[in-house]
């Protein structure tokens, strides 16, 4: 069973991701901010990370950069998922190391297929 770390400060978004992922046989780890997410990524080495962008203190761009450039975590694919839907946000996310960038709200099938794609 693949493990997905979800990093999002919204309890309602977290609940949606937990339901979607659990239903599709993923183990779900949860972090409510970028700093906690970076620590959990290093501690648990999940198969994939779903990263929100807008979070207090360390935003998703900063956390993605830290994870994708870290010695022990650089191999973990990050999918950024945000309400920020400008092309500049997408480009900046990819430049920080994200493999994919999706906009909220996410479609369950699209999300599951994208997770499987980045794990290949």
Tens-place pLDDT, residues 67-111: 999 999 999 999 999 999 999 999 999 999 999 999 999 999 999
If one counts every other C-beta atom within 10 angstroms of the C-beta of residue 50, the result is 28
Provide the residue ranges of all domains of the chain, joining segments of one domain with +. Answer: 3-119
Query: Strand pairing partners for 82?
Result: 103
Architecture of domain 3-119: 3-Layer(aba) Sandwich (3.40)
Residue the block writes with tokens 């901010």 = 33
Four-residue CA torsion sign, 32, 36, 42, 43: negative
**pLDDT per position as a tens digit, 56-67:** 899 999 999 999
Instruction: Give CA–CA dist 79/48, Å, rounded.
Output: 8
pLDDT at 1: 93
**pLDDT per position as a tens digit, 109-119:** 999 999 999 99
pLDDT at 29: 98
């Amino acid at each position: 069973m693949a493990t997905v770390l979800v990093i999002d400060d919204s309890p309602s978004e977290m609940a949606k991701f937990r339901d979607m992922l659990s239903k599709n046989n993923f183990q779900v780890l949860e972090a409510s901010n970028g700093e906690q997410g970076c620590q959990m990524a290093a501690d648990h080495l999940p198969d994939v990370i779903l990263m929100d962008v807008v979070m207090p203190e360390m935003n998703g761009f900063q956390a993605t950069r830290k994870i994708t450039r870290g010695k022990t975590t650089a191999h973990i694919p990050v999918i950024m998922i945000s309400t920020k839907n400008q092309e500049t946000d997408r480009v900046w996310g990819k430049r920080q190391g994200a493999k994919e960038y999706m906009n909220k709200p996410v479609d369950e099938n699209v999300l599951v297929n994208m997770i499987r794609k980045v794990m290949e």
